Amino acid sequence: MIRFDHVSFTYPDATRPTLFDLDFEIPEGELCLVIGSTGTGKSTLLRAINGLVPRFSGGLLTGRVTVDGRSTESVPPRELADVVGFVGQDPAAGFITDMVEDELAHVMENLGVAPDVMRRRVEDVLDLLGLHELRNRPLATLSGGQQQRVAIGAVLTAGPRILVLDEPTSALDPAAAEEVLAALTRLVHDLGITVVVAEHRLERVVQYADRVVIVPGAGERVIVGLPAEVLADSPVAPPVVELGRLAGWSPLPLSVRDARRSAPMLRERLAPLAPHVSDQLVRSSSTEPIARTTDLHAGYGPVTALRGIDMAVHAGEVVAIMGRNGAGKSTLLAHLVGLREPLRGEVLVQGRQPHRLSARDVVRSTGLVPQDSGVLLYHDTVAAECAAADRDADLAPGATQTVLDRLVPGIDQRAHPRDLSEGQRLSLALAIVLGAEPPLVLLDEPTRGLDYAAKQRLIAILRDLAAAGHAVVLATHDVEVVAAVADRAIVLADGEVVADGPARNVVVHSPVFAPQVAKVLAPEPWLTVAEVSRALDLLAGSGASA
């Protein structure tokens, strides 16, 4: 179905190829997972499948890409639209209309599909992706995750034989991600559609993959094979695979179910050192919170987003805000930074109402990285962005660049921010906000597009900020990051707080928000592979038998 025949690609002005000698085939009716570190060329590979690379990117492509027997060199992307459906990293950027149902029908209108067929396909996609309740909603009122599902649905209505998705679950809550992945699996198994997915959250996707392609970058050849074989030595692997490596399980598990079958002996060994679950929150000695909301109500026209939110965030605390898409997480952050005025109730940051402050006063107390991190970027090079951030925050020259290098080393300083990968662009925005070290740091989906190594570096930075007395609030669906860094977790549902307590308590007792290690080693409350590794080291040091 898809054939890369010794394909290499080099972007304009680049000194080495992004893709080097790709020579593999993706058969019909397979789900192929494309993985690799941030910025190695995964999105470039996906865009080569329908000819967006090099037709709209520029650069030099050698070799041949064949899709359903057609060469992308001779057939333009518009003539492949009935064969290849493509959903990029930023779904909203591809929207043409204003309403959900209109967006689902738009591609079919361009392809001249009969009205009765259009209606049937729209209904099928609404049911397939759980969008029926959103059909009459304006796209601008949807959460990031809801927009992602609409974007996927819009290409599915055209009936493509190949579906290409770039980070399709990155903005989805765990339950919504499972729904989308289940739908994709049905397309593969029941309809024989070929699905190619680039994804960093491997813990969600790898168990469904028939084939894995690792894009190493730096002019190296890709690695292609079965998931268990490829991930055995891969530097990029989900927690369940890392746990399997640590425990020496063979074959390596790809799912929680497989891992639990291998875990009884490990659970028994770890039992004496099981982490203590405390009901006491770890906070600084400060009695006055940096930020507080009291009976906060918020909404968008007739839609109520937040109802009676009472929350306090203290210095030295990392608080994770979790919940389904549309639960009100981004709205809560918008009120904390003063972008919105409460309909009712009060928001205080360092004793002041943020929506009444000037922009200069707000940025001195609060830094926000929104879901669309690109809105923070204005200059034409990475170097210019970093230099401007240093000036605006009165930092020493190079301070922002130092944070960026710590997050994602090796980004070309001459590159335009819009030409960066999603993860690189997010890292630049994070560096701009984190480098200024405001008393209150607000991060909305801060790991979208980041590989596991970059996430660990971000976690280290957030821990350092908390240790220095800053307060960090992150709204996220990334349960693995919550398990690794959060002191406290707050779960929102329909705009209300349904859980607020120590992160270990909240996530361990949730079947939706529990990390993979917690699911594998339940009922003991282990959260991360690092915790298990430290415990095994202690057992080895004490001479405990295997």
Task: Please write the tens of the pLDDT for every residue from 291-330.
Answer: 999 999 999 888 889 999 999 999 999 999 999 888 999 9
Whether 361 is covered by a domain: the verdict is: yes
Q: Please list, in sequence order, all residues whose beta carbon lies within 8 angstroms of the beta carbon of residue 546, skipping any fewer than 6 positions away.
A: 269
Task: Verify that 148 and 37 share a domain, yes or no.
Answer: yes
What single-letter DSSP state applies at residue 413? T
Whether 531 is covered by a domain: the verdict is: yes
Task: Verify that 199 and 303 share a domain, yes or no.
Answer: no
Whether 423 is covered by a domain: the verdict is: no
Task: Verify that 136 and 33 share a domain, yes or no.
Answer: yes
Whether 180 is covered by a domain: the verdict is: yes
Task: Verify that 107 and 249 share a domain, yes or no.
Answer: no
Q: What is the pLDDT of residues 115-124, one digit of tens each?
A: 999 999 999 9
Q: Is the predicted pLDDT of residue 285 greater than 50, yes or no? A: no
Task: Verify that 107 and 85 share a domain, yes or no.
Answer: yes
CATH classification at residue 352: 3.40.50.300
Task: Verify that 17 and 155 share a domain, yes or no.
Answer: yes
Q: Are 45 and 98 in contact (CB under 8 A)?
A: no
Q: Provide the residue range defining the domain that includes 310.
A: 291-377+432-510
How does residue 5 score in pLDDT terms, banded at 50, 70 and 90?
Answer: very high
pLDDT of residue 38: 86
CA 419 to each of CA 145, 369, 425, 444: distance values in angstroms, whole numbers, following the listed order:
23, 19, 8, 22
CA dist., res. 495 & res. 482, Å (int): 20
Mean pLDDT, the chain, whole residue set: 90
Q: Are 436 and 367 in contact (CB under 8 A)?
A: yes
Token representation of residue 21 = 């000698």
Q: Is the predicted pLDDT of residue 173 greater than 50, yes or no? A: yes
Task: Verify that 345 and 481 share a domain, yes or no.
Answer: yes
Whether 420 is covered by a domain: the verdict is: no
Three-state DSSP state, 434: helix
Whether 112 is covered by a domain: the verdict is: yes
CA dist., res. 396 & res. 443, Å (int): 24
Q: How far is CA 211 from the centre of its chain?
A: 21
Which helix (DSSP H) or strand (DSSP E) does residue 537 occupy?
helix 529-541
Whether 270 is covered by a domain: the verdict is: yes
Compare 148 and 115 and report the one with higher pLDDT. 115
Q: How many domains does the chain have?
A: 3
Compare 300 and 387 and report the one with higher pLDDT. 387
Q: Are 513 and 482 in contact (CB under 8 A)?
A: yes
Task: Verify that 175 and 264 share a domain, yes or no.
Answer: no
Q: Is the predicted pLDDT of residue 545 greater than 50, yes or no? A: no
Closest CA to 141 of 197, 92, 196: 92
Q: What is the pLDDT of residues 431-465, one digit of tens each?
A: 999 999 999 999 999 998 888 999 999 999 999 99
Q: What is the mean pLDDT of residues 512-520?
A: 93
How does residue 230 score in pLDDT terms, banded at 50, 70 and 90?
Answer: very high
Q: Is the predicted pLDDT of residue 132 greater than 60, yes or no? A: yes
Three-state DSSP state, 59: coil
CA dist., res. 97 & res. 230, Å (int): 41
Q: Is the predicted pLDDT of residue 289 greater than 70, yes or no? A: yes
CA dist., res. 337 & res. 316, Å (int): 18
Task: Verify that 37 and 138 share a domain, yes or no.
Answer: yes
Q: Is the predicted pLDDT of residue 279 greater than 60, yes or no? A: no
Task: Verify that 166 and 248 share a domain, yes or no.
Answer: no
Cα four-point dihedral sign 267, 273, 277, 281: negative
Task: Verify that 250 and 225 share a domain, yes or no.
Answer: no
pLDDT of residue 90: 76
pLDDT of residue 543: 64
pLDDT of residue 258: 95
Q: Around Cβ 145, how many Cβ atoms within 10 Å?
A: 24
Q: Please list, in sequence order, all residues whose beta carbon lies within 8 angstroms of the beta carbon of residue 7, skipping any fewer than 6 positions away.
A: 19, 21, 22, 23, 48, 61, 62, 63, 64, 65
Q: Is the predicted pLDDT of residue 283 greater than 60, yes or no? A: no
Task: Verify that 332 and 466 share a domain, yes or no.
Answer: yes
Q: What is the pLDDT of residues 240-268, one digit of tens each?
A: 999 999 999 999 999 999 999 999 999 99
Whether 17 is covered by a domain: the verdict is: yes
